[in-house]
Amino acid sequence: MGNRISVKEVEKGEKVILHVSERPRFGTIESKILKLNKVPIVRNLRVVKKILCKIYGIPLSSHFSNEFSLLRPILRVGENTGLNDTLITGCGLIRIGANCSFSHRNMIVSSVHNIDDFDKITLKPVTIGNNVWVTSNITILGGVTIGDNTIIGAGSVVTKDIPSGVFAAGNPCKVIREIDFVK
């Protein structure tokens, strides 16, 4: 078993391999607050959102629904980002830019078990640029970068980098066409 990994090492955005016992822990406080987020009366008080935002460094200008879920992420989120009912899982760094929109039932996975040694986990950072629309039922896997001003079509599985200013879709996700945003 190697040394415990620090958040600063993961924040560098490099591919990291660690032993299962070294992965960052998800505390009981965080899991209880996520459960409170599902209770409409409590959620309407906005106290739960403020606490979750503070714990995970999510700006208060961002939005997430009662189905939003986090499992051990190291998360960096930009202003005015709507995460809705996205599941964010894995121990790797996940960066999401400003003004992004996640529709329904999306998943971001930033770590995988090694198939030769299940006790080892490979952390692969995920970077999502600014002004990205992730539509519905999308899975974004570790090691992926999605460029600015991009739309990911429904049902896609993003396994490789997607450039800026495109519409991409499919399984595996690939560029369908360029988008010219008129401002």
* CATH number of the domain residue 100 falls in: 2.160.10.10
Residue span of the structural domain in which 156 resides: 15-175
User: b vs e for 155-164, b when ≥16 Cβ sit within 10 Å of the residue's Cβ?
Assistant: ebebeeebeb
How would you classify the pairing of strands 82-84 and 63-64?
parallel
> CA 51, CA 58: separation in Å to the nearest integer?
10
Amino acid making up residue 27 = G
Residue 2 is assigned to a structural domain of this protein: no
As for how many domains the chain has, the answer is 1
Active-site positions read 113
This prediction has a pTM of 0.83
pLDDT in tens, the chain (183 residues): 344 455 555 555 555 665 555 555 555 677 777 777 777 777 777 777 888 888 888 899 998 888 888 887 788 999 999 999 899 988 888 999 999 999 999 999 998 888 888 878 888 899 999 999 999 999 999 999 999 999 999 999 999 999 999 999 999 999 999 998 775
Residue 25 is assigned to a structural domain of this protein: yes
